[in-house]
Structures are given as structure tokens and as C-alpha cells.
Amino acid sequence: MSEAPSRQYYKHNHLQQLRGFCYAAQSGSISKAAERMDLSQPSVSLQIQALEREFNTVLFERRGPHIKLTPAGRVLYELAMPLVEGMEKLPEHFSARFSSLDSGYIDIAAGESTLLYLLPSVLSEFARRYPGIRFKLHNVTGRDGMKLLRSDEADMAVGSMLEVPDDMLYWPTHTYDPMLITPCDHPLTKLNEHMDLKAISEYGLILPPHHLSTWRLVKLIFQQHGLELKVSLEAGGWEVIKKYVGLGFGVSIVTSICLTGEERDLAAIPLNDYFPRRTYGVVIRKGKFLTPQVQRFIETMDPHFFERTGTPTESDILPGLRSAMATGLAESSSP
């Protein structure tokens, strides 16, 4: 007996099934996946059930309206998401290959220090090379940047990471030194090469908000040396901190990324003997399909990035994408 037409449709339309599955995995909800695809919830449920029958496994744990990937579901998601994203980004790939990257769009999540100090020169050079590509810059904390990456509202993030979540990849591209900044006439400037933490601990520090990683790192280093951390002022943003150090409200421990050489009222003293160097780099969700536009941007940041990290580029991925498309077309047209 032949299968009903609806069952044939869900069996052969693999791309639609995988899209419904991946959207449900991202949102943790079949109804949200259906809304994103402009389909009914039962339609997406049938797509997922068809995949479960095909692979003879359970892809989601169902807890009322909420769902969670099983171990098998996680494996399929990591395999399928690059294909789904590749199909969705196909117009940009086509434009990239036949229009010399004359158009496209890049969403970047980054913190204030990255946006102020690291990205301007990169963006300027990229815009000179590819004037038709547009940007959206999200000024966010690290935590909010991860949310944007997980929901695919950002293609990539650029920043510094001390702890890398299991679902993210982080590749450092720039390294900066830890620095003590003080007013030019501050007593600590006389110590210079003989600087030690005990001398610094006698003065109030100006630090970023305590929920950020800089505060936690400074506190940890002081504790390891048996010293009390005295914070005279909590301020958001390196520019604000530099301003109030210059006004004499305290001293601060910063990363050299924020020092432009134009700070005439500040003295800067290296603290490499006590604090680690800080890296900034590219953050991408695992399994994320990188468009040619994003790849060219990353190469503008670090020309040897893909060679150094072994990350596949579009020239590596497109043959597999074409094969998947051909397979999907053949299955969709089969009786």
C-alpha cells in the first residue's frame, strides 16, 4: 500500500523537516518554531516526528510546552544546523561568488571597549574593501552577546572571554597588557619598575561594575596576595574610568586596549608581573554557518585566521551544500 500524500511530503522534504527541528531546538518550543516558519504547530510536530521515525530515535524530551534536546537530538542539531543556515544564506553566497561581495549584511555583538578601540580600524578597512556590505553593531555585555549568538540575532561577537561556554567557540586575535593608570603626579609613578600590589592597595581603585569580569579578576589577584581591595568608585566604561582617574578620584587597573596615547593627564605602568595579558577575539556559536561576508570580515581582523584555526571557509562548505541540495531535490521529486 502506498503512503498517504501528507506522509510522502514529510518524508521527502528533508530541508523543511530539518528547519523545523533546528528552529524548535533553538527556541525550546515547537510553537515558536512554527511561528518563525509561518506554519501551524501540528505541521512542525509532524516534521519532527518524521525525523524521529527516520532515525529511529527520540530527538526531544517533552515537558509540557517546553522541549529539550536529547543526546541524539544534540548530535543531529550540530550536523543539521550548518545545512539549514547554508540554505538560508544561499542568496548572500550567490552574491558573494558572482557579484564580488558587493552586498550583504553582518550583525556583530561587542562590548563598549571593543566598539571604541578595536573595531573602528577594522571596520574602516573592511568598508574600504567592500563598500556595499552593511553592518549592525550591538553594544552589549558578554552575557547578552551570548544570547544574541544563541538566537542567531548576531552572526558573531568580538570581545574578551575568560570563560568560554560549551556551545561557543573563541579564537583570540589581539592581546593587550594589564596597566595601572594614575594621575601624572601620583606618588605611585615614582615606583614605576618597582611597582607592587601592596603599594597599589593603599589607594582606592576605580573599577568597572562588580558583576563584570575585570572586577572579579582584580579581586582574585588581590586575595591571592593577601591584600584588601579598596574600591573608591565604580564606573562603567574605560573612558569614564580614565576621566575620573585624571580628576584624582583614584587609580585603576585597565587593559591597554583602552590606552590610545592621547591621555596627557595619565601615567600608565605595566602590571604584567601580577596580572595576565588579556586577549580579544572572535566568538561564534558552535555549528554556525559563516557567510562569505562574515569570513571576509574576520580575515580583515586577522588575515591568517582560517589558516591558523582550521575553520572551514565557504570554499570548503559549498561542495557539501550543493550535494545536500541535489539530494533534497531528488528526494522531493521521487514518487
CB 300 within 8 A of CB 122: yes
Q: How many CB atoms lie within 10 A of CB 233?
A: 15
Domains for the chain: give ranges and CATH numbers. 5-88 (1.10.10.10), 91-175+279-319 (3.40.190.10), 178-276 (3.40.190.10)
The whole-number pLDDT of residue 95 equals: 60
Type of residue numbered 182: T
Could you tell me the three cell numbers for 207? Answer: 573599577
Dihedral of CA atoms 158, 163, 169, 174 in degrees, nearest 10, equals 40
What global pTM score does this model have?
0.64
How many Å apart are CA 1 and CA 72, to the nearest integer? 31
Rounded Cα distance, 167 and 165, in Å: 5
> Which residues 6+ apart lie within 8 Å of 293 measured at CB?
92, 96, 101, 104, 105, 106, 130, 133
- Distance, in Å, from the CA atom of 15 to the CA atom of 36, rounded to the nearest integer, reads 15
CB 92 within 8 Å of CB 293: yes
Quote the pLDDT of residue 159.
Answer: 94
Rg of the chain over Cα atoms, rounded to whole angstroms, equals 25
Each residue's pLDDT, cut to its tens digit, for the chain (335 residues) gives 444 444 444 444 788 888 889 888 888 888 888 888 888 988 888 988 988 898 899 999 987 778 889 999 999 998 888 888 877 777 766 665 554 566 788 999 999 999 999 999 999 999 999 998 999 999 998 889 999 999 888 999 999 988 899 999 999 999 999 999 999 999 999 887 778 899 999 999 999 988 888 888 999 999 999 999 999 999 988 999 999 999 999 999 999 999 998 999 999 999 999 999 999 999 999 888 888 889 999 999 998 887 776 655 544 433 443 343 333 333 333 32
Task: Determine which helix (DSSP H) or strand (DSSP E) holds 157, and give its type and residue range.
Answer: strand 156-159
**One-letter amino acid of 33:** A
Q: Which burial class, exposed, middle or buried, applies to 236 when counting CB atoms under 10 A from its CB (0-12, 13-18, 19+)?
A: exposed
The strands making up 278-285's β-sheet, listed across from edge to edge, are 134-139, 105-110, 156-159, 278-285, 168-176
Q: Who contacts 96 (Cβ-Cβ below 8 Å, separation ≥6)?
A: 104, 291, 292, 293, 314
Collapsing DSSP states into helix, strand and coil, what is residue 312? coil
Asked whether 206 and 287 are in contact (CB, 8 A), the reply is no
Secondary structure string (H, E, C) spanning 246-261: HCCCCEEEEEHHHCCC
Q: Which residue type occupies 169?
A: L
Task: Cell 549592525: give the residue.
Answer: 136
The 10 Å Cβ neighbour count of residue 248 is 12
Contact 173, 282 (CB under 8 A): yes
